[in-house]
Structure 1
Amino acid sequence: MNGLEERLKIGLSDAFKDFIKRSNYGFSQWRYFMVGNESYTFKHVLNFNLESLFIDFMQSLKEWLEPEEIVFANDGYGGYYLWNTTTDVVLFLDTDDGSKKALLNLKMFLKKLESRG
């Protein structure tokens, strides 16, 4: 992941790196969780081992991303979870309409996600 940080010119927090390692780039089943009265689906953590493919993927979404945002997961329906490395907030990107919605700070997001069976 260090090479990825250099190529993206973004520092990844220890909490984020630990989550990627714990999730092993995925979960055995889809996760569902609520933020407010909105329901979200969490399917895959993206594979950060394939650095060049990941960089290409980030480039394909650049019209929706701020420089400090990194895509780290998807919902299986064309939506993506972004982490803003400056504000430490996780956002949901709906690629159907290009809308972004701030969800929770990274620590609370991971706690909510990982508390699910």
Structure 2
Amino acid sequence: MYSDTDINGVRKESQLTKADNGWKNAVQVSAGEFTGKKTSDLLIRWSDGQAQVFPGVDTAGYHGSRVTIQPVGSAWRNSRTLTVGSLTAPINRPNGILVGWTTASLSYYPGIDANGSHGEVQLVG
């Protein structure tokens, strides 16, 4: 993780985990505010379709148990990209996920939290 990054560039690198072959299966890593911790959470999309939130990540590492928001084998293995943001009120917590699919469809998953995802809104397709 690169913290204290601003217009002057990267100031500090923190290694969150030691080398682990399991991380080779991470397809995408994003940060968001899903669990209400003091710091952002990491959203990891794995090659097998699973997606997990690592709550409250900071320079000391991971804190708490992973939250699975999509199980192994889910349709998310067919996603092209995802991004985190808030498209619904309140906007003070970017806890939604936009998923772009290989079919050119676009879905929104609002209100991701420590209990996982709570439904899909099909935006395009």
TM-score range, shorter chain: 0.3 to 0.5
> What TM-score do you get using the length of structure 2 for normalisation?
0.32
Point out the structure with the larger strand share: 2
> What TM-score do you get using the length of structure 1 for normalisation?
0.33
Q: Rg larger in 1 or in 2?
A: 2
Point out the structure with the larger helix share: 1
